[in-house]
Structure 1
Amino acid sequence: MNEQYLNQTIRRIVYLESLKQSEINNLSAHIKEIDDLVKSLMLDEEMTDLTLAEFNKVLTSVKTGVATSLSSYTVAVGASLTAIAIDTYQFETKSLNNAFEDVKLSTKIDDAKKAKIVRTVKNTPLSVTGSEGKTVTDLFNELANNESNKYINHIKLARYEGKTNQQIVQMIRGTRKNGYKDGLMEVTARQAKTIVRTTVQHAAMQGKAEFAKDNADIIKGEQWLSTIDGKTSSACRSLDLQIFELGKGPRPPLHHNCRSTVLIVLKDEYAGRGNINKRASKDGPVANESYYSWLNKQPKEFQDDVLGETRGQLLRSGGLSADKFAALQLDKNFKPLTLDEMRAREPMAFKKAGL
């Protein structure tokens, strides 16, 4: 694989993470809207003093206000997602043109193609664990609906328990002593941030997938590329550097907050002679190697922190190569295996590691 293309892709990953944070930063204005709404509704009579009809009217205002604020935010994020996907398609075109002398792809992208990319982003279901089969629209609709229901259910319970308006506001906003990190709004913010990070990654990968399909005549596959640090998931660790036929392998995001990507692997006649000899890690460039090959060289404490003590011991003392260890982590559907399932497949490795 061409080193220039790899470096361009890594820079793109950094850019994408910054873009995720930018979209997340825009959330604060919408959280403030919810805060202002709650405070305004709690200024007058105590919830416990209201008639049922009056109380239900307050609940309707809360539900509508929270849903409207979150829906407004997700519409803005949705516009960004389509722009990200289109930009990713164009980036791959320019990136391959710059990195490979024998690649001469057109950089033009017409409105019909842009519209197709937009549909792909919106309609392609995610394979994210816990949200399998859901689309971007599903995730955002669930956010607005679930969070608004959460607010009214908590307020109902608070009124039943006889809590004051001040206590209800505190329940929603959180407490000053905990930096307002223990209220419902913080939970809402965390949920929204997770969805934003996941859907931005999805949009970028769909833009790349569309590019790959359009240029299948020069592409033979895709290579999984995981971030090399202690936060990488077990599934992504095991898939790192594996090459799959075009359209045959898993695609990021594999889980919520996934940061993995794929590299386009060109057919031999287009790939040239370039080789990757460096890639990014938490400590800067490292020699080109898989995640578990890199992890095997890290301190014991770091290995156990990433894998857990049992898997860490198996990595160090089980006599398995990095590739064999990686293959032992996932089933045929790329889902993580339990320790018992791993032991059934490689009993001698567990015995050798004293496990």
Structure 2
Amino acid sequence: MNEQYLNQTIRRIVYLESLKQSEINKLTPRIKAIDKLIKEQLLDDELTEMTIKSFNGVVTEIKQGVKAELVAYTDTVSVTLVDVAADSYAFEAKSIDSAFDGFKLASGIKVAEKAKVLEKIVNNTPLSVTGSEGKTVTDLFSELANNESNKYINHIKLARYEGKTNQQIVQMIRGTRKNGYKDGLMEVTARQAKTIVRTTVQHAAMQGKAEFASDNADIIKGEQWLSTIDGKTSSACRSLDLQIFELGKGPRPPLHHNCRSTILIVLKDEYAGRGNINKRASKDGLVANESYYSWLNKQPKDFQDDVLGETRGKLLRSGGLSADKFAQLQLDKNFKPLTLDEMRSREPMAFKKAGL
């Protein structure tokens, strides 16, 4: 594996995280617009004193207004996602061309000509994200607008039934000052939107990379999973780290919401060029090129237990399992995390050796 290619890919991960935050920042004016809408609709007559007809008019205005702001936001993000996919495709071509010698890319396709193809791929390719399996970007964006606008209306209807004042309803939606406005419906909306943006940006980047790999399948041997090495990495991503899969046959990020993992393209031996990876990035800087669990096995006990939980942490330290074997024991054939009981049934001696 090529060190230059790895370093370029890691820098790309950092750039992508910054891009996600940039897209999230665009949500702020939309949340402010929702806040203004709510205050304007609840400024005058108390909802508890309104006729049913008048009340229904107010909730319709609120529902349509909240939905319109979220649709406008996701429309903006949708344009960015296509750009991300196209840029990912172009980056992969430049990165491999820069890092490797001795071959020429099979694809002569211009990235601009790929934009329409990538738009369809990004929007229509189902995600394998846990909890949203099979849903597309279009589905996620539509659900955000519909679900969040309905949530506001349902809470307002209940509040009116319970006899709450308009001021209390506004506080319920905005949150309280003493809690930094983190306990209102708008904060829940913001969290939902941020999660979807982080996930869909990652999806778009991986689809661009996958399309590049497909166009150059004649020189590619497989795809290698690369996880971010820190304490926030999910169980599934930890266990997949550095595994190599046949092109198009293995899992692809995002595997879960807020996934930060990526894929390294593995070239056929005759194209592999020069150099070996000997360092990779972690939260503490460069570390030796090793899998997530090899790295974790060298971390302090408290950190291991914080990441894995006490039982799995003890199993890692005392179960007599290699890092690779421990990783294999974490997931089933569909790359879903195993429970402790399922792990015990597969490796009873490891649990016995660890005293568990």
Please report the TM-score for the alignment, with normalisation by the length of structure 2. 0.99
Superposition deviation, residue 117 in structure 1: 1.1
Superposition deviation, residue 273 in structure 1: 3.3
Superposition deviation, residue 16 in structure 1: 0.1
Give the match for residue 12 of structure 1.
12
Structure 2 CA distance for aligned equivalents of residues 268 and 168 of structure 1: 65
Give the match for residue 60 of structure 1.
60
- Paired residues of 1:93 and 1:107 also in contact (CA < 8 A): no
Give the match for residue 265 of structure 1.
266
Give the match for residue 39 of structure 1.
39
Structure 1 CA distance for aligned equivalents of residues 204 and 262 of structure 2: 11
Would you say how many aligned residue pairs link Structure 1 and Structure 2? 355
Superposition deviation, residue 274 in structure 1: 1.2
Give the match for residue 89 of structure 1.
89
Give the match for residue 30 of structure 2.
30
Does residue 48 in structure 1 map to residue 51 in structure 2? no
- Paired residues of 1:96 and 1:103 also in contact (CA < 8 A): no
| Deviation sequence 1:219-250 (CA, Å, 0-9, x none) | 01000000000000000000000000000000
Superposition deviation, residue 138 in structure 1: 0.1
- Paired residues of 1:90 and 1:107 also in contact (CA < 8 A): no
Give the match for residue 175 of structure 2.
174
Structure 1 CA distance for aligned equivalents of residues 112 and 326 of structure 2: 46
Does residue 163 in structure 1 map to residue 164 in structure 2? yes
What is the letter of the counterpart of residue 132 of structure 1? E
Superposed, which structure 2 residues align to 1:1-355 within 5 Å?
Answer: 1-105=1-105, 109=110, 111-355=112-356
| Percent identity over paired residues | 81
Q: What's the Cα RMSD here? A: 0.9
| Deviation sequence 1:179-230 (CA, Å, 0-9, x none) | 0000000000000000000000000000000000000010010000000000
Superposition deviation, residue 108 in structure 1: 5.2
With over 3 angstroms needed to count, the CA separation of the structure-2 counterparts of 1:203 and 1:245, relative to structure 1, is same
What is the letter of the counterpart of residue 45 of structure 1? D
Structure 2, unpaired ranges of 5+: none
Structure 1 CA distance for aligned equivalents of residues 114 and 352 of structure 2: 56
Superposition deviation, residue 104 in structure 1: 2.8
Please report the TM-score for the alignment, with normalisation by the length of structure 1. 0.99
Structure 2 CA distance for aligned equivalents of residues 295 and 221 of structure 1: 26
Superposition deviation, residue 47 in structure 1: 0.5
Structure 1, unpaired ranges of 5+: none
What is the letter of the counterpart of residue 9 of structure 2? T
Structure 1 CA distance for aligned equivalents of residues 136 and 88 of structure 2: 19
Structure 2 CA distance for aligned equivalents of residues 47 and 173 of structure 1: 17
Structure 1 CA distance for aligned equivalents of residues 57 and 322 of structure 2: 64
Q: Which has the higher mean CA deviation after the structures are superposed, 3-12 or 271-280?
A: 271-280
Superposition deviation, residue 113 in structure 1: 2.2
What is the letter of the counterpart of residue 62 of structure 1? I
Structure 2 CA distance for aligned equivalents of residues 165 and 87 of structure 1: 48
Superposition deviation, residue 110 in structure 1: 5.2
- Paired residues of 2:101 and 2:274 also in contact (CA < 8 A): no
